[in-house]
Amino acid sequence: MNDSAPDSDNQRPADRPGAVTRVTSAMEDYLKAAYRLEQDGGAVTTLRLAEELGLSGPSVTNMVKRLDELKLVVHNRYHGIALTAAGKSVALEVIRHHRLLELYLSEALGFNLDQVHAEAERLEHHVSEELEARMEQVLGFPRFDPHGDPIPGRDGELPRIDDNALDSLAVGEAGRVSRVSDRDPERLRYLFGLGIKPGSHIRVIECMPFEGPVRVQIDDNEQLLPYSVAQLVRVETDGEPLPANPVGT
Ligand SMILES: [Zn+2]
């Protein structure tokens, strides 16, 4: 992986001459997870990072220490873990690979949408600049992956999407499905089976209390969605955003 010019702008910070270590796949996963948690809001703690990665506390503590030494994160006792600009740019680069791969796998290679996330998780660490550029070109410079998540630009620019979780919508609210979470292939398959995918039109008909099921109209059909499935769907609402449903915290 030593094929780029030493002064290339695209080089990751820790790859630069004089840096002690290159950024490993494991480090990339940590930075990506930290980025995701930062986006979700609240302080990024070792505990949250361990949960997100499905790893034990002590191994996470060690890795965070290494990332701090490489100046990819800053770990502060009181404020938790924050990505540095360099750490954030590594995270966005991996996310860009992941989302381009998902789209390439589904559009060019015919993979089912519930399969592409797992494949992309493995491949995202091994994409060269050239492969990235070719996938982007073949796909026509796409802005969204097949789950509706935005693909960061080459410059790391990420369009903001103004959408809401389906379980936070009020009865009667309607809109366009913007994204479905790619994390759970079984639930994803279930959603796609009901016709709920990015672009579908959806309206909330009834919300059962206490995190009960949500009845929706999807295009012309009525469906009852388990709460755990409704949580995975995000919607760009048609009208004025209404206050969040207090039940769906
Ligand atoms: Zn994915």
Pick from 34, 69, 87: which residue ends a domain? 87
**Ligand 1 centre and the CA of 6: distance in Å?**
31
CATH number for 233 = 2.30.30.90
Sorted by sequence, the CB contacts under 8 Å of residue 134 that are 6+ apart come out as none
**Ligand 1 centre and the CA of 144: distance in Å?**
12
**Ligand 1 centre and the CA of 26: distance in Å?**
17
Q: What is the pLDDT of residue 47?
A: 93
**44 within some domain:** yes
Report pTM: 0.80
**195 within some domain:** yes
Bridge partners (DSSP) of residue 214 are 207, 225
pLDDT < 50: residue spans in the chain? 1-11, 14-15, 17-20, 241, 243-244, 246-249
**Ligand 1 centre and the CA of 7: distance in Å?**
31
Domain that holds residue 189: 164-248
* Beta-strand runs (E) in the chain: 73-76, 80-83, 164-165, 174-180, 201-207, 214-218, 221-225, 233-237
Pick from 41, 56, 87: which residue ends a domain? 87
Reported as a single tens digit per residue, the pLDDT across 73-93 is 999 988 899 999 999 999 999
CATH number for 63 = 1.10.10.10
Pick from 62, 87, 112: which residue ends a domain? 87
**Amino acid identity, position 24:** T
Reported as a single tens digit per residue, the pLDDT across 211-238 is 899 999 998 899 999 999 999 999 999 8
DSSP state, residue 209: T
**Ligand 1 centre and the CA of 28: distance in Å?**
15
CB atoms within 5 A of ion ligand 1 belong to 117, 182
Q: How many domains does the chain have?
A: 2
**232 within some domain:** yes
**Ligand 1 centre and the CA of 182: distance in Å?**
5
**184 within some domain:** yes
